[in-house]
Structure 1
Amino acid sequence: MKSFRFFLVFFVLIVIAHTGFAQDTGDAQSLTKEAVQLNKAGKYAEAVDKYSQALKLDPENIYANYGMAFSLLASEKGKEGIPYLQKVINSNSSITIWAYDLLGSIYDKEHDSAKAIEAFKAGLKLDPKYQSIYYNLGLVYFRDRNYAGAEKCAIESMKLDPKHASSQRMYALVCFHQNKRANALLGLCSFILLEPNTARTTEAYGNITHILQGGILLPPAGTPTLMVDANSLALNNAISKAIADADKKKYPSPADQLTAELTNIFTAIGQLADKQNADPVFKKYFADYFYQLAQSPNMPAFARMINWGNTESAKWISEHPQYMNDLDGWVKTTARDF
């Protein structure tokens, strides 16, 4: 999850390359644009040199200051970039929010959680709808084992960008760490729908298997076990019962058994969540959605899609393209809301 922060800031620099530089003067503009291209090519040390030249000509250039900080962070010299970001922050310009985001990432890289959180919160005060900061703040909370805080950030990030796969993944993992198995399971399934057939998908499927087998993530040694609330405990028990009911039958293949298990689970969770008076995000965005999927004819395709790397699943997928197209069509046309 960590690498996405750098990609996002990197993307911002690409955007800068296609915008006007109202504050640039003469050669500073050309040097800044050259530095952007060097950043795109991963030549961060050379980009630092170009930004240095640009800032000699125009010390207050907010784009060059921001770009310098980014390049230094990418060069493992993040702390050196802080003074440049302070200039951008003090400018109160349109990219001040970017500076807070990058500043928080620098402090996070330096393992200074308190300052990272302070920077991210300052950014959110400036722009409460800045999705990237919610995600990055969630990562800090996650590493600090503040799983409840990370869950809240993941939810806000998902609300602002429902297609952001990494936020779905973070939501699932932090819920798993809280032994909220239903939230984690549906979060992992949701993540795979957005990012199928990658290394992270394989990892996600491994976590799904662990959940289906009744596994939990044990807290570190010396850390007290987290207490699970009554609603989550009831949902956990519903998963176990749904699996037990499905496993009373025999199936032609493991994928068919997984189809039956997930169908039972999605149905049970959907029905139970509808009765519970808590966590409306989980109910509407996850439980209701996967309950609808369980009632559709697309579960065989879904069960194989989430385990794409399996030889049997891959063979079935290649032999049933229409099933996969139907699943894709269902995902694109089925409404989903918070």
Structure 2
Amino acid sequence: MKTYRSLALIIILSLSVNALFAQNKPSHTDSLMKAGIALTDAGKFAEAVAIYDEVLKASPDSKPVLYEKAITLNIMGKHDDAIIILEKLLTSISTPNVYAALGDAYDMKGDFDKATSYYTKGISLWPKDRNLWLNLSVSYSRQKKYPQAQAAAAEAIKADPRHARSYQNYAVAAYLQGKNAEALLGLSNYLMFGSNNQSLGACNVIKSILYAKPNTNADPVAKLEQETIAGAVTVATAGKTGLAPIDSLVLQLTASYKAIQSQENQFGSSFFARYFGDFFGAIATTNYMDTYTRFIAVSLSPQDNIAWLKAHNDDVKAFNIWLNTQKRQTE
């Protein structure tokens, strides 16, 4: 989780300083600021802070420089130093990024009450800010408050449906509650953004969900989700022997998506039913499940799946055209 938090901070860091603060930055600091940000991105945090301090000698009240210094200090683990700077900034400037940074600093320090207060205050001012919602979700996950983490991640998805990490956090929070249908579709959506160094782990969690036996001690919704998938997988593969792993996965996902859609209104979330259940249920009725499954499961067998996708380029194009026609409801 520590790595994930740092990543979230670096994402914030990469935003334009002018866009963050809408202030005029002294032109002579441009090159130094760029150098400082580049050093932070490279993990050379002490060197970055030294550059920011050099700039601050000439412009001690420069809000963009103070912000960048605070972000870097927080990544270094110097949370109290970062908090002093950020709380001072908040008295003269109000942006969602400052609230998010303060929430991150308190969160990484372990003061979850203060972290939550800054995230929620920021959200009250900017209810559609994805970073605030996602960072709140991550904080709840660290506190093992998984229902709240999933709900916050859902709001991050609504704010920015094109952000992969929001789906990942949504899925993980659902999985840790035993809500396997919500976890399966969340991870399926996450993998549609393309392969990365966490794709194999996501694929392996999907496989564990498909083969999981229902937990009789789970809460009613989680139990229903688990039973829905287990029943669908059993029917899909009954009497079928000698299947290649990828062909088995196509059958299991197709059956699971259809079964989840048929039960979606019983899982307690209208957002899940409309945004996830309907969408993946629709995919399962197309002729593109082979293409789709090969794409999201590239990391399970990269050489074979990539070769297949290249050989079926027309199918890939047709699937992309179909995807572009789909309208998903977030509200």
CA distance in 1, matches of 2:307, 2:117: 50
Query: Are positions 1:233 and 2:223 aligned together?
Result: yes
Give matches, 1:20-31, under 5 Å. Answer: 21-22=23-24, 30-31=28-29
CA distance in 2, matches of 1:144, 1:32: 40
Query: Are positions 1:192 and 2:194 aligned together?
Result: no
Residue 301 of structure 1 corresponds to which residue in structure 2? 291
Give matches, 1:118-267, under 5 Å. Answer: 118-194=117-193, 196-214=194-212, 227-230=218-221, 232-250=222-240, 252-267=243-258
Conserved in 2, the CA contact under 8 Å of 1:32 and 1:51?
Answer: no
Residue from 7, 15, 18 that aligns with 1:16: 18
Deviation of the 1:325 alpha carbon? 2.4
Deviation of the 1:51 alpha carbon? 2.7
Over the aligned positions, Cα root-mean-square deviation in angstroms equals 2.5
Q: Sort the Cα spacing of 1:2 and 1:68 in 2 relative to 1 into closer, same or farther, 3 A.
A: closer
Conserved in 2, the CA contact under 8 Å of 1:60 and 1:87?
Answer: no
CA distance in 1, matches of 2:34, 2:162: 27
- Measured against aligned partners, the alpha-carbon deviations of 1:198-232 in whole angstroms (never above 9, x if no partner) come to 1211111000000011168x9xxxxxx984234x4
Deviation of the 1:56 alpha carbon? 3.7
Structure 1: 5+ residue runs without aligned partners?
219-224
Conserved in 2, the CA contact under 8 Å of 1:103 and 1:116?
Answer: yes
Higher mean C-alpha displacement, 152-161 vs 67-76 = 67-76
Deviation of the 1:17 alpha carbon? 8.3
Q: Sort the Cα spacing of 1:3 and 1:333 in 2 relative to 1 into closer, same or farther, 3 A.
A: farther
Deviation of the 1:32 alpha carbon? 6.1
Q: Sort the Cα spacing of 1:215 and 1:50 in 2 relative to 1 into closer, same or farther, 3 A.
A: farther
SS of aligned partner of 1:163: coil
Residue 320 of structure 1 corresponds to which residue in structure 2? 312
- Measured against aligned partners, the alpha-carbon deviations of 1:16-56 in whole angstroms (never above 9, x if no partner) come to 3898743x5xxx65236512432124343333233324434
CA distance in 2, matches of 1:154, 1:322: 35
Matched positions, count: 321
Deviation of the 1:86 alpha carbon? 1.5
Residue from 35, 38, 48 that aligns with 1:37: 35
Residue 90 of structure 2 corresponds to which residue in structure 1? 89
Conserved in 2, the CA contact under 8 Å of 1:35 and 1:48?
Answer: no
% same residue: 28
Letter in 1 for 2:237: D
Q: Sort the Cα spacing of 1:105 and 1:33 in 2 relative to 1 into closer, same or farther, 3 A.
A: farther
Q: Sort the Cα spacing of 1:226 and 1:79 in 2 relative to 1 into closer, same or farther, 3 A.
A: farther
Letter in 1 for 2:271: V
Letter in 2 for 1:176: Y
Conserved in 2, the CA contact under 8 Å of 1:73 and 1:81?
Answer: yes
Conserved in 1, the CA contact under 8 Å of 2:96 and 2:132?
Answer: no
TM-score, structure 2 as length reference: 0.88
CA distance in 1, matches of 2:60, 2:218: 54
Residue 221 of structure 1 corresponds to which residue in structure 2? none
Letter in 1 for 2:318: D
Higher mean C-alpha displacement, 82-91 vs 320-329 = 320-329
Conserved in 2, the CA contact under 8 Å of 1:266 and 1:290?
Answer: yes
CA distance in 1, matches of 2:177, 2:132: 23
Deviation of the 1:57 alpha carbon? 3.7
- Measured against aligned partners, the alpha-carbon deviations of 1:167-222 in whole angstroms (never above 9, x if no partner) come to 1011111100110110000111011012x221211111000000011168x9xxxx
